[in-house]
Structure 1
């Protein structure tokens, strides 16, 4: 019996074998097609219930099976899973097209949509109907047969290309290791980093130290290693991912993807891919995004140039370096930060034991939103590292299942993300609760020390947990509007707003305790964390804006004349560049957010959401960071509402007004008065 085709509550990971996926997905596609046929062949007049709602609830089994499969393809993949992903992705893209290009189905959806004025729908029902109608109209339902066929071909190619892109990046990440044996080669590195590198070497039966491109290895090396040549070697290796003359080169794939996206947008009547994407976002148009980015750039650039100039002077004074390179930035920034604020990341780490930080974020969720987390071992896991929790409210009502996967390993892509195994919905009067997961790549425990997080890793955990809260507290009727199913430039608000608690004394006291002495983090450190929060914010803002503007340049212009990824990038970066170019490196060939993830024409949304989060947190600061009234307003109007109404409407209901960028500029120290 195929475990994926049985009824299950939580994912039956231990029972699934690789050979189960393809037959299960084929069968689930067949079941979903039957559900669609039932809607199409219904002899009754199209209604909200027999068409709109029926369509939203269709494909449930397929969604659950594919969420298991693709989540594992990111967090616990191998050659077999990657091969299956290449086979099934075109099937799924074909199936999606079978729905959106089904004329009879669209006619029913359109009939309900055209009659919406007479239906007395709630705002959520109106949103479902509008979203459904638009997903047909925006994805080819109005095309003629020839163009529909062309659209299918494009979508099948795109699904395979983005998978291949991600596989290549992972292969390049796994292929590199730097084996060091001399003590002078690891000079400057904290003991904990050396110990972790020693354990990697030991696991490969080698002496000395091994450093990799996994973040917990790569970032400390660039931040602390005194040997400039080795920092250079690491930085160039990271920047070469997908940009080397080998089988994992992504240059052609990038050009194919952007051209296919542009062609697809044109086919659907849009000027560019960005015009297509942004029509359904808060920002609405590429022009608005570019204007928003350039306005911030105008504020950040003078600060960034000044910060860079000071950093360059500092590096020259310290080590006689004439020209600061990319592999020098983190190293000298850390030294300067330590000098200015007397703050050493390594001094902070003992106060951020992973288990304590997890308990801290749970406690904050309890104080704000009445949530309780109980670790349980009765839920099946896909890897022994994964932790599983039962989430309830203060009345002991079941809220969600929560999975957390914290450490890097070979089959796991870099970075951190939130995902879900089951969406929340209300069906047949039952509120079906969600199963939510966060996946990170944090410093592993060693033989002598538990997992001690850098402050940056602490904010990452809070960020992903903010997304998880958006999923866990979802309380909508329809799964396609539930949880994080919101405009892409609104989805980062819950995650980014939660990061703010990491800087507050009242919150830090809950979890920042020394792992050996249990001493609460000294207040002088808390003050320094706050003081240093806007350190090099001009440079950080410039960096984020440069990625967003590169994304917009790829997707808001006709890419057909682009021959060189590298030249195109250099042009896109011309206004945001601080460091000299490294000819062996390219950004786009490993820019997984936009070429593998869902952020194409959407990378700007991190900065967009920062404006929202700074404005939202200002409200908490005014009333108290654990103020129940403000927290409940945030839960009721943002976290639980998903995509049931327009984001600005939800935000204004929480905040009482539209957001202004002033709070962000103030927090970042980028208002002229603060310079």
Structure 2
């Protein structure tokens, strides 16, 4: 049987909207597809260098942009699932894949022949439109910033640094997730969780039930489990236990990240100096709005001068309340959120838990879509029958005000042991030129919000609502993107 008959990456997806066939992709498909993607990309790069005609936008820049389309597709799927839905076997592949990608990127960015072609176009941009000029500038800077002008000896040093760095970030992420999942606290005495909202208790009881516990309440280090304890648990020892456990993830345990963090910092500094920068921060900020570390430090100082006195005053108020209420004289970090909530109740009669019934997750999503429709005239329609990587993922078609197709939005909102912490927007397919045509985007929102239980639907707290709206802003950026070239599209710009 030919490889194209068995590996979904080697053939047309034949899915609605050309969506990724998550249901057909297996772990054994990734390495062959990546190896083939690298082979094809290298052949395409060689063709650029072997081209005897004068370098121009189409035969160099555009060809470089599209040289690794298969590779990009496969790695996009892999690294999206690495963060959102992956087991140990899946994650282990990163230690093979990441160095291969780092080596390939280094080979391109330090290729003198290729850089000469890019540089020639950069110095003669006559006849190019604004978007083409921007893409030329992007590639020229990428070559400069990633070693094109280094000596051969330093290029080898850079490649070694980048290959090592490429393995450390996945290790760090995997350690945090494993350490998070390793902690469970099963409580059988309800007095120990006095003060917790009923919704939090129900969620913990449901978690215990799912794990086969004989009654009681199960708490983890997932944010929806942790935050109610910080804010409402009267049991100070419980707050301390959870606070210490959460703060010590991947620290002095079997998943210890200290050496990895130190090594990442060392390698980043070595890399920056090799490329002519004083620090890694200077290297990164050069392409950002702030441009220099000094600008950032100045901004932080201005914020500090205004915010610190107010923050100090608030902390003193909270400490005073803790002393007056419970005779707390050794105020600790695990007391802060608890007494802050009490202070808000006293001063403003505000209890965030009372807002949850208004923030049923379905209502929040509907609110998101209504806001987008009012602002931009776009509409959202849930689709069934689209392949997804987990049964909780929902997919929506997004149409413009004239009814034309804008893209697809995937939503994956609840925590699980195969997903890393946090919330983020991602691209499954970036808008722009690919496979000979301008394609519309497929974007996603991934989060770890309060899940439903066997007794209640998902009811979000205000901060979770804010998180969803924040990530939805990034998703809109991706969906509304209207560029020719993928490199300049969506959140790829700063």
On whether the aligned pair clears a TM of 0.5, the verdict is yes
Q: How does 1:597-608 map to 2 (within 5 A)?
A: none
Q: Is residue 408 of structure 1 aligned with residue 415 of structure 2?
A: yes
Q: How does 1:479-490 map to 2 (within 5 A)?
A: 479-487=486-494
- Partners of 1:14 and 1:469 in 2: how far apart? 26
- Partners of 1:7 and 1:334 in 2: how far apart? 54
Instruction: Give the aligned partner of residue 90 of structure 1.
Output: 99
TM-superposed CA distance for 1:427, in Å, is 5.7
Instruction: Give the aligned partner of residue 321 of structure 1.
Output: 328
- Partners of 1:264 and 1:341 in 2: how far apart? 51
Describe the superposition over 1:455-501 as per-residue Cα deviations: whole angstroms up to 9, x where unpaired. 111000001100100011000111001000112xxxxxxxxxxxxxx
- Partners of 2:436 and 2:84 in 1: how far apart? 34
Describe the superposition over 1:549-585 as per-residue Cα deviations: whole angstroms up to 9, x where unpaired. xxxxxxxxxxxxxxxxxxxxxxxxxxxxxxxxxxxxx
TM-score between the two structures when normalised by the length of structure 2:
0.96
Instruction: Give the aligned partner of residue 234 of structure 1.
Output: 242
Moved more, 329-338 or 348-357: 329-338
User: Is the 2:408–2:442 Cα contact (8 Å) retained in structure 1?
Assistant: yes
Instruction: Give the aligned partner of residue 356 of structure 1.
Output: 363
User: Is the 2:407–2:442 Cα contact (8 Å) retained in structure 1?
Assistant: yes
Q: Is residue 208 of structure 1 aligned with residue 199 of structure 2?
A: no
Secondary structure in 1 matching 2:101: helix
Q: Is residue 13 of structure 1 aligned with residue 26 of structure 2?
A: no
- Partners of 2:435 and 2:292 in 1: how far apart? 39
- Partners of 1:427 and 1:214 in 2: how far apart? 38
Instruction: Give the aligned partner of residue 8 of structure 2.
Output: 3
Q: How does 1:189-208 map to 2 (within 5 A)?
A: 189-206=196-213, 207-208=215-216
Could you say which structure has the greater relative contact order, defined with CA pairs below 8 angstroms and 6 or more residues apart?
1
- Partners of 1:397 and 1:431 in 2: how far apart? 14
User: Is the 2:69–2:435 Cα contact (8 Å) retained in structure 1?
Assistant: no
- Partners of 1:427 and 1:92 in 2: how far apart? 20
User: Is the 1:438–1:464 Cα contact (8 Å) retained in structure 2?
Assistant: yes
Moved more, 17-26 or 122-131: 122-131
- Partners of 1:41 and 1:12 in 2: how far apart? 36
Instruction: Give the aligned partner of residue 3 of structure 2.
Output: none
Q: How does 1:399-478 map to 2 (within 5 A)?
A: 399-426=406-433, 430-478=437-485
CA RMSD of aligned residues (A): 1.1
Instruction: Give the aligned partner of residue 110 of structure 2.
Output: 101
User: Is the 1:420–1:437 Cα contact (8 Å) retained in structure 2?
Assistant: yes
Q: How does 1:128-207 map to 2 (within 5 A)?
A: 128-206=135-213, 207=215
Describe the superposition over 1:338-396 as per-residue Cα deviations: whole angstroms up to 9, x where unpaired. 22221211110000000010011001001101111110112100000000111111211
TM-superposed CA distance for 1:431, in Å, is 3.0
Residue of structure 2 aligned with 1:123, choices 114, 120, 130? 130
- Partners of 1:421 and 1:102 in 2: how far apart? 29
TM-superposed CA distance for 1:120, in Å, is 3.1
User: Is the 1:4–1:12 Cα contact (8 Å) retained in structure 2?
Assistant: no
User: Is the 1:57–1:479 Cα contact (8 Å) retained in structure 2?
Assistant: no
How many residue pairs are counted as aligned between the two chains? 484
Describe the superposition over 1:435-454 as per-residue Cα deviations: whole angstroms up to 9, x where unpaired. 00000111111112110000
List gaps (5 residues or longer) in structure 1: 488-675
TM-superposed CA distance for 1:254, in Å, is 0.9
Q: Is residue 44 of structure 1 aligned with residue 49 of structure 2?
A: no
User: Is the 1:427–1:477 Cα contact (8 Å) retained in structure 2?
Assistant: no
Secondary structure in 1 matching 2:32: helix
User: Is the 2:69–2:434 Cα contact (8 Å) retained in structure 1?
Assistant: no
Secondary structure in 1 matching 2:333: coil
